[in-house]
Amino acid sequence: MRLDYWLCLCLFSSSLSGVIDFKNNVWPILEERCIECHRAPYERNGVIKKPKAGLRLDGAAHIMYGSDESPVVVVDHPSRSSLYQRVILSPDDSDHMPPKGEPLTKSQKEILRMWIAQGVDFGSWVGATDGIQDLTERRKADQVLQATYLKEFDVLAEGVVAVEGNFVKEIALSTGLMIRPLGVGSKLLEARVVTEPSQVGDNSVRKLLSLKDNLVSLDLRNTNVTDDSLKIISSFPRLKKLNLMGTQINSDGLGSLNRHKNLETLNLVNTSVTDEATDILISMPLLRRVYLWKSAFTKQGILTLKKEMGDLIVSY
């Protein structure tokens, strides 16, 4: 190989061989490529712009809290940190970050990876501190909600027959989904796409029917499922969490979930679901959180949802 190639490679490796300094190495990346969408609420043209997915990256406390859905950094584990995992996705993936402009460079991605792998050290950097009291209250609310969930899951599991482990593995292999117990010894299951979402479709969901009494969480993001899958999913009596991000489903198909008794969280990001689904969402008695970013919902539809369902958290 040419000498200049090896020289560039050595310079790249040596420049990242030491301890990553957040203020000098990580913050410039976040400030340039992420803060536009993930900062404190601000007003633009008379409209209050909120951080996407509830995630703020302009302060250490906010970064560690994460988004409305979950933490975005897991100390020492880049592979479990969505802040890193999303920047290494293919630019064609709807989850790829940042969504605008060129992808991060190889060097920038490696800086983020090493910073997380080295312990998520902010050094002397603090960043924005406004809203920290809100974070404290949200943590308390999350803890209460988690405790409530655990109790609800105990109730849900009553009368459920455990599925033999090898049978679960067979279904996982045939569907292309990862299927596992909700917790150690739990009879309840969660299923989610991990790799090759394009290989998962309506037939995969149809094969889950044999597990329908045990499934409480189903993540089908970016798969090829259609409205036909929603007809099947409507028969999953204990389903509490459903992720349909980036799928082909629409408002008509969502009608299959009308009055679903246990659904609490529904992700409709990057779908063609419109305001026509408002009544369907309102009909779900336990729905507590819905994600509508990049969907076809209008501001008026979102306002109607909030008005009719005072306790509903709408992320858009």
- Phi first, then psi: what are they for 169, rounded to 5°? -65, -40
Q: How confident is the model at residue 8 (pLDDT cuts 50, 70, 90)?
A: very low
Q: How confident is the model at residue 196 (pLDDT cuts 50, 70, 90)?
A: confident
Give the pLDDT confidence score for residue 16 in this predicted structure: 54
List the domain boundaries for the chain: 15-130, 159-315
Give the pLDDT confidence score for residue 194 in this predicted structure: 79
Tens of pLDDT, residue by residue over 132-183, are 877 767 666 666 655 555 566 677 778 889 899 999 999 999 999 999 888 7
Tens of pLDDT, residue by residue over 229-283, are 999 999 999 999 999 999 999 999 999 999 899 999 999 988 999 999 999 999 9
pTM above 0.85, yes or no: no
CATH number for 159-315 (one of 3.80.10.10, 3.40.50.300, 3.40.640.10, 3.60.10.10): it is 3.80.10.10
